[in-house]
C-alpha cells in the first residue's frame, strides 16, 4: 500500500520521465496492490483535469494509454493544488488523508521532488512542518546542490528532517540497464575482469553527446549548465561504476560503498584540461539571460588515483545541440607489443552503449582471410535486449520501483557526493574561457587535444 506524492507534477520532468515510468510499472504489474498517486503544484487543477494532463503526457512520451489499463490507472490519480511550503500546504494534507483512507491508513508515503534543486531545502522543511516526513521516503532529483557549499547546506538541512535511510538521491544513469552491465560483465566474466586494469587499458572515454536543445526547460538549464547537469552527476557516477574496486557483495550498502570509495580518489579537475562551450544561438532562447555564460558543453580529463587506474585518463564529454545522440562508455585497450608492426591505435576497444536497453561491443583486429598476412578491423556486438527472456525497464521505472521496494543500491550517498563536489570545485572556481560551437557539430575543436595523441572514438 503506497501513497506516492509527485511534487512538480505538471512540470517537464514529470511529463517526460516520471509519469511514463509510473505507468510502465502499472502495466508491467510492478506497483503495490493498493496505490494512489497524488500530483502537487501551484495551480488549481481538478482531479479530472490532472488525469487528462497525464493521459496527454503518455500519448506524447509513451507508453500509449490503452483503454483497460488506463482506466484502472486513471482512477488512482489525484491532484492537490495551492502549492506547498512551510507557510501553507495548499490542499495536499486533505488529499493525502483521503488517499490514505482509500489505500490504507498504514500506506507507505513516498515524496518525489520533481522540482528545481533550489527548492529542495524549503520543501524538505515543509514536509517536517506539516507532519509528512516521519516514516516517509523522499526522492531528490539531481543535482543535489549547486556548489560544494550549497551541497553541504542542503545535506545538513535534509538530515535535520530525515534519516539517511529515508533519502533517495536519484541519478537515472545508474538505473540504466547497460550501466549495471559495467559491473556485471566485469565481475561475472574473467575475460573482461582480467583486462580491467591500467596494465591493459590505455584510456577510458565516457561520451554523452545530445542533439537536444533546452527550449522546454531553458530557465532551469540556464541556472545549471552542462557541468552541474551532467558532469558532476551522470558522468562522475558512470566513471565510478567503471573504476570501483570489487564490492564485498552485491547488496545495496556494499555497491554504494564501492562507488563512493573510488569517487574519493578522483583527482580535482584541472581547468587547463577542460573545454567549456556554448552553442551558437543559445542566448536567443526564451528564458535564457541575454548575457548568459552558461556552458552547454563540457569535455575534461579525469584522473583517478588508485593503484588500478593511476595514470589512465578518463575522457568525459557531453553537450547539447551536437551532431548525434549517444551514451557510450569505452575502454580503449593498449596496443600490444609483438610481431605485428605498426598496429593502428585504438583498434581494441570494449564499448558499452548505455542508450535504450544497452549493447556491449568488442572492436578488435582479425586476420583477413587470404594468402597475405593482412589484418582487418572487426566488431562483435551483443544487444542486451536480445538476451533470452530479457525484460528491460526504462531507468526511471527501475529506480522508482527500487524506491517502492526500499532498495537503495542505485542511489547516491552523501559521502560520495561530497567527494564529487570536491573534485569539481577547481573548475567552478576558475572555469576556462567559454568558446562557442555551431549547432549540429561535435562541439569546440579545442576538445580534440584532450584525447591526444589519439582521438575521441565518436566524431572528431
Q: How far apart are CA 360 and CA 50, in angstroms?
A: 41
- Does residue 37 have a known ligand-binding role? no
Q: What is the pLDDT of residue 45?
A: 87
- Does residue 416 have a known ligand-binding role? no
Query: How does residue 27 score in pLDDT terms, banded at 50, 70 and 90?
Result: very high
**Mean pLDDT value of segment 88-95:** 96
Question: Distance between alpha carbon 216 and the CA centroid of its chain, in Å?
Answer: 19
Strands (E), 108-256: 108-113, 137-140, 167-169, 201-209
| 429-456: pLDDT as tens digits | 999 999 999 999 999 999 999 999 999 9
Domains and CATH numbers, the chain: 2-141 (3.40.50.720), 173-404+413-451 (3.30.360.10)
**Mean pLDDT value of segment 16-39:** 96
- Does residue 172 have a known ligand-binding role? yes
Nearest in space to 300 (alpha carbons), one of 250, 214, 235, 251: 235
Nearest in space to 77 (alpha carbons), one of 35, 21, 112, 115: 35
Query: How does residue 418 score in pLDDT terms, banded at 50, 70 and 90?
Result: very high
| 191-218: pLDDT as tens digits | 899 999 999 999 999 999 999 999 878 8
In what helix (H) or strand (E) does residue 437 lie, and over which residues does it extend? strand 435-437
Nearest in space to 123 (alpha carbons), one of 33, 185, 40: 40
Query: How does residue 185 score in pLDDT terms, banded at 50, 70 and 90?
Result: confident
Catalytic residue among 111, 183, 234, 401: 234
Are 439 and 280 in contact by the 8 Å Cβ rule? The answer is yes
Q: Is 269 helix (H, G, I), strand (E, B) or coil?
A: coil
Highest mean pLDDT among 76-80, 170-174, 386-390: 76-80
Contacts of 284 (CB under 8 A, 6+ apart): none
Q: How far apart are CA 22 and CA 396, in angstroms?
A: 8
Q: What is the pLDDT of residue 460?
A: 55
- Does residue 8 have a known ligand-binding role? yes
Q: Is the pLDDT of residue 270 over 70?
A: yes
Largest CA distance in the chain: 82
Q: How far apart are CA 414 and CA 151, in angstroms?
A: 9
Would residue 234 show up in a list of annotated catalytic residues for this protein?
yes
- Hey, what's the cell of 302? 579525469
Contacts of 119 (CB under 8 A, 6+ apart): 113
Q: What is the pLDDT of residue 366?
A: 85
- Does residue 72 have a known ligand-binding role? no
- Does residue 68 have a known ligand-binding role? no
| 241-266: pLDDT as tens digits | 999 999 999 888 898 899 999 999 99
Q: What is the pLDDT of residue 327?
A: 96
Q: What is the pLDDT of residue 332?
A: 97
Rounded mean pLDDT of the chain?
93
| 312-328: pLDDT as tens digits | 999 999 999 999 999 99
**Mean pLDDT value of segment 77-91:** 95
Q: What is the pLDDT of residue 68?
A: 84
User: Considering Cα of 349, then 350, then 354, then 359, what sign does the dihedral take?
Assistant: positive
Q: How far apart are CA 179 and CA 421, in angstroms?
A: 22
Contacts of 390 (CB under 8 A, 6+ apart): 357, 384
pTM, two decimal places: 0.92
Q: How far apart are CA 241 and CA 156, in angstroms?
A: 26
Q: What is the pLDDT of residue 104?
A: 83
**Mean pLDDT value of segment 394-420:** 94
Q: 107-111, 219-223, 328-332, 431-435 — which is least confidently predicted?
A: 219-223
Are 198 and 259 in contact by the 8 Å Cβ rule? The answer is no
Residue 330 to residues 41, 183, 326: CA-CA distances in angstroms? 42, 14, 12
- Does residue 356 have a known ligand-binding role? no
Q: What is the pLDDT of residue 381?
A: 92
**Mean pLDDT value of segment 403-424:** 94
Percent of the chain with pLDDT over 70: 99
Q: Is the pLDDT of residue 285 over 90?
A: yes
Q: Is the pLDDT of residue 391 over 80?
A: no
Q: What is the pLDDT of residue 339?
A: 80
- Does residue 137 have a known ligand-binding role? no
Question: Who wins on pLDDT, 104 or 444?
Answer: 444
Burial 93-114 (b: 16+ CB within 10 A, else e): eebbebbbeebbeebbbbbbbb
| 350-371: pLDDT as tens digits | 999 998 888 999 999 888 777 6
Residue 4 to residues 18, 21, 85, 419: CA-CA distances in angstroms? 11, 13, 18, 31
Q: What is the pLDDT of residue 408?
A: 92
Amino acid at each position: 500500500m503506497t501513497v506516492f506524492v509527485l511534487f512538480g507534477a505538471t512540470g517537464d520532468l514529470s511529463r517526460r520521465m516520471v509519469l511514463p515510468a509510473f505507468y510502465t510499472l502499472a502495466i508491467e504489474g510492478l506497483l503495490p496492490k493498493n496505490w494512489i498517486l497524488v500530483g502537487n503544484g501551484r495551480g488549481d487543477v481538478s482531479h479530472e483535469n490532472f488525469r487528462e494532463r497525464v493521459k496527454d503526457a503518455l500519448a506524447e512520451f509513451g507508453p500509449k494509454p490503452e483503454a483497460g489499463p488506463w482506466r484502472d490507472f486513471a482512477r488512482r490519480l489525484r491532484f492537490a493544488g495551492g502549492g506547498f511550503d512551510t507557510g501553507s500546504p495548499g490542499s495536499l494534507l486533505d488529499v493525502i488523508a483521503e488517499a490514505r483512507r482509500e489505500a490504507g491508513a498504514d500506506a507507505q508515503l513516498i515524496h518525489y521532488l520533481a522540482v528545481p534543486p533550489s527548492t529542495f531545502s524549503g520543501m524538505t522543511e515543509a514536509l517536517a512542518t506539516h507532519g509528512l516526513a516521519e516514516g516517509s521516503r523522499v526522492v531528490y532529483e539531481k543535482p543535489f546542490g549547486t556548489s560544494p557549499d550549497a551541497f553541504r547546506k542542503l545535506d545538513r538541512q535534509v538530515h535535520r528532517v530525515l534519516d539517511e535511510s529515508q533519502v533517495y538521491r536519484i541519478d537515472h544513469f545508474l538505473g540504466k540497464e547497460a550501466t549495471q552491465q559495467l559491473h556485471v560483465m566485469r565481475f561475472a566474466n574473467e575475460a573482461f575482469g582480467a583486462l580491467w586494469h591500467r596494465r591493459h587499458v590505455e584510456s577510458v572515454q565516457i561520451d554523452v553527446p545530445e542533439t537536444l536543445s533546452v527550449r522546454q526547460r531553458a530557465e532551469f538549464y540556464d541556472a545549471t549548465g552542462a557541468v552541474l547537469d551532467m558532469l558532476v552527476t551522470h558522468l562522475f557516477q558512470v566513471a565510478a561504476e567503471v573504476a570501483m574496486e570489487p564490492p564485498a557483495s552485491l547488496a545495496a550498502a556494499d555497491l554504494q560503498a564501492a562507488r563512493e570509495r573510488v569517487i574519493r580518489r578522483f583527482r580535482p579537475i584541472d581547468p587547463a584540461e577542460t573545454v567549456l562551450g556554448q552553442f551558437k544561438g543559445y542566448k536567443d532562447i526564451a528564458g535564457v539571460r541575454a548575457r548568459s555564460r552558461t556552458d552547454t558543453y563540457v569535455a575534461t580529463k579525469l584522473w583517478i588515483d588508485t593503484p588500478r587506474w593511476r595514470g589512465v585518463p578518463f575522457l568525459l564529454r557531453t553537450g547539447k545541440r551536437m551532431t548525434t545522440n549517444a551514451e557510450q562508455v569505452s575502454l580503449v585497450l593498449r596496443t600490444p607489443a609483438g610481431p605485428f608492426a605498426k598496429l593502428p591505435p585504438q583498434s581494441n576497444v570494449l564499448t558499452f552503449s548505455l542508450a535504450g536497453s544497452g549493447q556491449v561491443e568488442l572492436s578488435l583486429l582479425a586476420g583477413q582471410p587470404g594468402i597475405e598476412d593482412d589484418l582487418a578491423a572487426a566488431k562483435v556486438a551483443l544487444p542486451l535486449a536480445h538476451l533470452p527472456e530479457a525484460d528491460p525497464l526504462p531507468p526511471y521505472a527501475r529506480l522508482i520501483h527500487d524506491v517502492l521496494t526500499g532498495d537503495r543500491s542505485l542511489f547516491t550517498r552523501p559521502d560520495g557526493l561530497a567527494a564529487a563536489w570536491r573534485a569539481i570545485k577547481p573548475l567552478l572556481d576558475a572555469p576556462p574561457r567559454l568558446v562557442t560551437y555551431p549547432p549540429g557539430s561535435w562541439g569546440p575543436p579545442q576538445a580534440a587535444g584532450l584525447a591526444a595523441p589519439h582521438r575521441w572514438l565518436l566524431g572528431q
